[in-house]
């Protein structure tokens, strides 16, 4: 019996060793490219470092400086407003597209591919395309407005319209990964439940409200968290399209972080900004997980 136990122990150790060897490339990449830079940025957030010189320890000065930085509050406000508007619209548009493309009709696969195509367009190319579309003088949007007698709108040149312009732009990829995730969730809804509800006289909205929506609520939560994180990390489109203007009306948080790191060479302050963003996203994620107990449905009962 003792020999059998020793053999079993050795076999388990050998299995664990092989498992570690197989995942070692990922572990190495995680340590070098993710965990290592995170620890380094945390240490740098307590220093004054301009990349070209030597880092000097300044304690919490970078964090106390945030309270008196008007551009920090401006960028945070811009990002919050954009996220509060774009996240619900983006998730709703993705869900509606998924519901539409989950129906049985001819050419369904073609339409799924067409709606997914914007996700494959590089962000810089898409931003340049939307600059042309938003052009005040010859853009497609103002041309369409002129057909119904509406005067031209200064989409990217107006402090009032620049955030709505980016909200509309965020819907460009509504048929992307979130739509695919919703489609996968919709296909797991038991058809026998829908058919039974239909036989009992439930209409389309009632079936969606009482069967489909609860069954895909975990998918909805997942997409909501991803959309929130993505909205707070918007960078490429404002960097290419407006550079934060006009009058810092589109100064998104990550764009301001980039300015401090690579334009002003204040790497310590930029690291502090990055960790504040991490804490904000962590708080939002925790709140979403706390609130999900009220509406997310798992295995016949709420979370």
Evaluate whether residue 209 is within a structural domain.
Answer: yes
Residue 302 is predicted with a pLDDT of 46
Please check the confidence at residue 129 and state whether its pLDDT lies above 90.
yes
Distance between CA atoms of residues 36 and 42, nearest Å: 10
The reply to whether 119 and 183 lie within a common domain is yes
Nearest Cα neighbor of 219 from 118, 102, 83 is 102
Residue 18 predicted with pLDDT over 90: no
Asked whether residue 52 is assigned to any structural domain, the reply reads: no
> What Rg, from alpha-carbon coordinates, does the chain have?
25
Taking Cα atoms as reference points, which of 236, 83, 232, 82 lies closest to residue 162? 82
- Taken as a whole, the chain contains a residue count of 303
Instruction: Give how many domains the chain has, as a whole number.
Output: 2
**Parent domain of 146:** 65-302
pLDDT digits (tens, 9 = 90+) for 160-170: 999 999 999 99
Number of CB atoms found within 10 A of residue 271's CB: 23
DSSP SS3 for 262:
helix
Has residue 113 got a pLDDT over 50? yes
Any domain includes 60: no
Domain CATH code at residue 229: 1.10.3720.10
Residue 268 in domain:
yes
- What is the mean predicted confidence (pLDDT) over 216-234? 93
Q: Are 88 and 27 contained in the same domain? A: no
Do 114 and 10 reside in the same domain of the chain? no
The pLDDT assigned to 1 comes to 52
Q: Is residue 56 part of a domain?
A: no
Alpha-carbon span 295 to 303, nearest angstrom: 8
Q: Specify the higher pLDDT residue, 292 or 229.
A: 229
Q: Clarify whether residues 167 and 246 are in a common domain.
A: yes
* Residue 100 and residue 180 in one domain: yes
pLDDT at 2: 63
Using one digit for the tens of pLDDT, what is the confidence trace for 135-188?
A: 998 899 999 999 999 999 999 999 999 999 999 999 998 988 999 999 999 998
Which one has a higher pLDDT value, 20 or 167?
167
Task: Tell if the pTM clears 0.85, that is, is over it.
Answer: yes
For residue range 45-94, what is the model confidence (pLDDT) as tens digits?
999 998 888 889 999 999 999 999 999 999 999 999 999 999 999 999 99
The reported pLDDT for the residue numbered 296 is 83
Most confident residue range from 27-36, 98-107, 199-208, 275-284: 275-284
In a domain, 54, yes or no: no
Residue 218 vs residues 70, 85, 93, 144: alpha-carbon distances, Å: 39, 22, 17, 39
Give the model's pLDDT for residue 14: 82
Q: Is residue 258 part of a domain?
A: yes
**Among 35-39, 150-154, 272-276, 287-291, whose mean pLDDT is lowest?**
287-291
Mean residue pLDDT across the chain: 90
Same domain, yes or no, for 35 and 179?
no
* Judgement on whether residues 92 and 7 belong to the same structural domain of the protein: no
Domain for residue 85, yes or no?
yes
């Amino acid at each position: 019996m003792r020999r059998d136990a020793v053999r079993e122990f050795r076999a388990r150790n050998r299995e664990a060793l092989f498992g570690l060897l197989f995942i070692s490339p990922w572990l190495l990449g995680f340590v070098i490219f993710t965990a290592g830079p995170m620890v380094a940025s945390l240490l740098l957030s307590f220093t004054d470092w301009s990349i070209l010189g030597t880092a000097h320890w300044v304690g919490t000065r970078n964090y106390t400086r945030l309270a008196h930085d008007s551009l920090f509050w401006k960028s945070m406000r811009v990002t919050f407003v954009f996220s509060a508007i774009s996240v619900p619209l983006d998730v709703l548009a993705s869900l509606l597209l998924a519901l539409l493309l989950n129906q049985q009709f001819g050419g369904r696969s073609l339409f799924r591919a067409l709606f997914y195509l914007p996700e494959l367009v590089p962000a810089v190319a898409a931003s340049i395309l939307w600059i042309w579309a938003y052009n005040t003088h010859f853009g497609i949007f103002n041309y369409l407005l002129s057909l119904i007698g509406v005067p031209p709108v200064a989409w990217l040149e107006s402090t009032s319209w620049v955030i709505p312009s980016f909200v509309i732009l965020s819907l460009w990829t509504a048929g992307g990964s979130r739509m695919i995730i919703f489609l996968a969730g919709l296909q797991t809804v038991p058809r026998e439940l829908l058919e039974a509800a239909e036989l009992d006289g439930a209409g389309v909205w009632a079936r969606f409200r009482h069967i489909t929506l609860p069954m895909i609520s975990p998918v909805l939560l997942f997409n909501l968290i991803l959309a929130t994180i993505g909205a707070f990390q918007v960078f490429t489109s404002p960097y290419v399209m407006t550079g934060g203007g006009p009058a810092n009306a589109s100064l998104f948080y990550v764009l301001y972080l980039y300015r401090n790191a690579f334009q002003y060479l204040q790497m310590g302050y930029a690291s502090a900004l990055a960790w504040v963003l991490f804490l904000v996203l962590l708080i939002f994620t925790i709140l979403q997980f706390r609130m999900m107990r009220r509406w997310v449905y798992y295995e016949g009962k709420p979370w």
